[in-house]
């Protein structure tokens, strides 16, 4: 069993991004800019935005956070996004999800300029991903693919089971795996007998936020496990969706949680923002 170390790889990617920022500044006198919209006081979202801010500082990005109250109006968020779409110093716009119930999330995500959609959630970029064209890919599944590539894990022809069908992780993960010529099965809350599906999997990708959802009896020997879920136990410990202690004994490769996919998500956000800045510079030349 080998650990897929997302923390180590994320630091490597950060180093490459930092180099890319230095080159961009030298050649164009331009600093990549990332804007984040955070609505409300959700502790997990606030902590995540803070981690993103620190990561931006480490690689030399210009970053700004628009922190808004829970009862903010749709118009106020839309006006802020429109302003950032027009701001030449902002290359990437990130709307921290989830948004409060009074906000039309779909409308907000569609308002972001696709060229600044570094989270890869705009329908334009989703469409390009599904049709295997270049665009911005959601950071978590993109990070998973980078992690597999780092360890020379080839998905071509492999039976890949994804547990969770969210727009943020499950669906784009399926598209990336299909584009890489894997055989893909997506399971979700209405799937009958999850074990029947996972037992045949060469690789399992799980991200639903259910502690110990995947247990030792649900996987075959030498399976590759990518645990994207994060939950907090009653004792306050962060854990994933996989019973790591027991499932790892049967795995060929496995991500820890935390320390696996999480750091890769932020690394890919930095990578996407640098890409947006580079494209933005090319468009102006």
Q: What is the three-state SS of the chain?
A: CEECCHHHHHHHHHHHHHHHHHHHHHHHCCCCEEEEEEECCCHHHHHHHHHHHHHHHHHCCEEEEEEECCCCCHHHHHHHHHHHHHCCCCCEEEECCCCCCCCCHHHHHHHCCHHHCCCCCCHHHHHHHHCCCCCCCCHHHHHHHHHHHHCCCCCCCCEEEEECCCCCCHHHHHHHHHHCCCEEEEECCCCCCHHHHHCCCCEEEECCCCCCCECHHHCCCCEEEEECCCEECCCCCEECCECHHHHCCCEEEECCCCCCHHHHHHHHHHHHHHHHHHHHHHHHC
- Alpha-carbon distance of 174 to 44, in angstroms, equals 26
* Structure tokens given for 96: 């921290």
Q: Annotated catalytic residue: which of 91, 96, 171, 278?
A: 96
Maximum pairwise Cα distance, the chain: 58
* Structure tokens given for 285: 């030349």
- Kindly provide the b/e burial profile for residues 145-156, where b requires at least 16 CB atoms within 10 angstroms of the residue's own CB: bbbbebeebebe
Could you tell me whether strands 159-163 and 62-68 are parallel, antiparallel, or unpaired per DSSP bridges? unpaired
Identify whether 119 is a catalytic site residue. Answer: yes
Per-residue model confidence (pLDDT) at position 285: 56
- Prediction pTM value: 0.94
Region class of 193: left (phi > 0), else alpha (psi between -120 and 50), else beta: left
- Alpha-carbon distance of 1 to 153, in angstroms, equals 13
Per-residue model confidence (pLDDT) at position 258: 87
Per-residue model confidence (pLDDT) at position 42: 80
What is the set of domains in the chain, with CATH numbers?
29-115 (3.40.50.10860), 139-261 (3.40.50.720)
CB 271 within 8 A of CB 17: yes
What is the pLDDT tens value at each position of the chain, 285 positions in all?
999 999 999 999 999 999 999 999 999 999 999 999 999 888 778 888 888 999 999 999 999 999 999 999 999 999 999 999 999 999 999 999 889 999 999 999 999 999 999 999 999 999 999 999 999 999 999 999 999 999 999 999 999 999 999 999 999 999 999 999 999 999 999 999 999 999 999 999 999 999 999 999 999 999 999 999 988 888 888 899 999 999 999 999 999 988 999 999 999 999 999 999 999 887 665
Identify whether 11 is a catalytic site residue. Answer: no
C-alpha count within 13 angstroms, C-beta hemisphere, residue 235 = 4
Identify whether 7 is a catalytic site residue. Answer: no
Q: Annotated catalytic residue: which of 91, 116, 117, 119?
A: 119
Q: Annotated catalytic residue: which of 52, 116, 171, 275?
A: 52
Per-residue model confidence (pLDDT) at position 120: 97
């Amino acid at each position: 069993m080998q650990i897929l170390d997302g923390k180590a790889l994320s630091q490597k990617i950060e180093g490459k991004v930092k180099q890319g920022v230095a080159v961009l500044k030298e050649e164009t006198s331009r600093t990549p800019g990332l804007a984040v919209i955070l609505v409300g006081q959700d502790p997990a979202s606030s902590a995540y935005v803070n981690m993103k801010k620190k990561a931006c500082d480490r690689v030399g990005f210009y970053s700004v956070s628009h922190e808004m109250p829970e009862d903010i109006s749709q118009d106020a968020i839309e006006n802020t996004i429109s302003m950032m779409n027009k701001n030449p110093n902002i290359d990437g716009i990130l709307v921290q999800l989830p948004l409060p119930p009074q906000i039309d999330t779909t409308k907000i995500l569609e308002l972001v300029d696709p060229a600044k959609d570094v989270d890869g959630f705009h329908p334009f970029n989703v469409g390009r991903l599904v049709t295997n064209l270049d665009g911005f890919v959601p950071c978590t599944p993109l990070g998973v693919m980078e992690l597999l590539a780092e360890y020379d894990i080839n998905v071509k022809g492999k039976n890949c089971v994804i547990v969770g069908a969210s727009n943020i992780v499950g669906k784009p993960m399926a598209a990336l795996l299909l584009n890489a010529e894997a055989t893909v099965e997506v399971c979700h809350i209405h799937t009958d007998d999850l074990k029947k599906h996972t037992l045949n999997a060469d690789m399992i990708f799980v991200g639903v936020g259910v502690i110990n959802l995947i247990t030792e009896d649900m996987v075959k020997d030498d399976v590759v496990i990518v645990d994207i879920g994060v939950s907090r136990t009653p004792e306050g410990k962060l854990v994933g969706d996989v019973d790591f202690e027991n499932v790892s004994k049967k795995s060929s490769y496995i991500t820890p949680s935390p320390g696996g996919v999480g750091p890769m998500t932020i690394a890919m956000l930095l990578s996407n923002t640098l890409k947006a800045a580079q494209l933005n510079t090319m468009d102006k030349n």
